[in-house]
Amino acid sequence: MHNDPMNAIPSPTSTPAPWRPRIVAFFCNWCTYTAADLAGVSRLKYASNVRVIRLMCSGRVDPQFIVEALAKGADGVLIGGCHPGDCHYVEGNYKMLRRFQMLKRALKEMGIEPERARLEWISAAEGEKVKRVVNELVEQVLKLGPLNLPQRAADWDKELAELEEKIKAGEAEPAVA
């Protein structure tokens, strides 16, 4: 058991691994997911820190899915759908486009950089575009740095608890506008 690498104590000289952004991708089954498969079969190299969730249509992506992905530790989100006019469900991608515009405004209001979310139209034949878009999003999120939303939420909860204690003790000062 003493040779188990999971129980190894890191040496004081070891350096932590560099931060790698976690990207969640919601891909349409008919176009973008198929393009990602084509990229893999074609051995195109793109960032491995993306986790793909296959949906039947980009129009099925609820903005809450994106917010939840970010809340659970994702640093960025990519949504891929069929090109306008090519949706297998006629208008699903237009529905996603409307939702995405609203989502970007909501993210900004929540203090999250809208650049952490990206919507792309990628057809089944565009494996190279999947590679390019994924790598560009990873680079963009690297520049933005870690979102760390779960830790932010824990910090906010702690601040609220401390404020509540101050209010109970009569020590809280009213905010000046």
pLDDT by residue (tens digit) across 110-134? Answer: 999 999 999 999 999 999 999 999 9
Separation between Cα atoms, residue 100 and residue 120, nearest integer Å: 11
Q: What angle do CA 44, 26, 130 make, to 5 degrees?
A: 20
What confidence tens digit (pLDDT) does each residue in 157-176 have? 888 899 899 888 888 676 65
SS3 at position 17: coil
Q: Which residue has the tokens 């939702």?
A: 99
What confidence tens digit (pLDDT) does each residue in 136-157 have? 999 999 999 999 888 888 888 8
What confidence tens digit (pLDDT) does each residue in 30-71 have? 999 999 999 999 999 999 999 999 999 999 999 999 999 999
Residue ranges per structural domain of the chain: 21-146, 147-177
Indicate if the pLDDT at residue 8 is higher than 50.
Answer: no
Residue 65, classified by CB atoms within 10 Å of its CB into exposed (0-12), middle (13-18) or buried (19+), is middle
Read off φ and ψ for residue 122, nearest 5 degrees: -135, 120
Please state which CATH number belongs to domain 21-146.
Answer: 3.40.50.960
- For the entire predicted model, the pTM comes to 0.81
Indicate if the pLDDT at residue 98 is higher than 60.
Answer: yes
Residue 62: DSSP 8-state: -
SS3 at position 21: coil
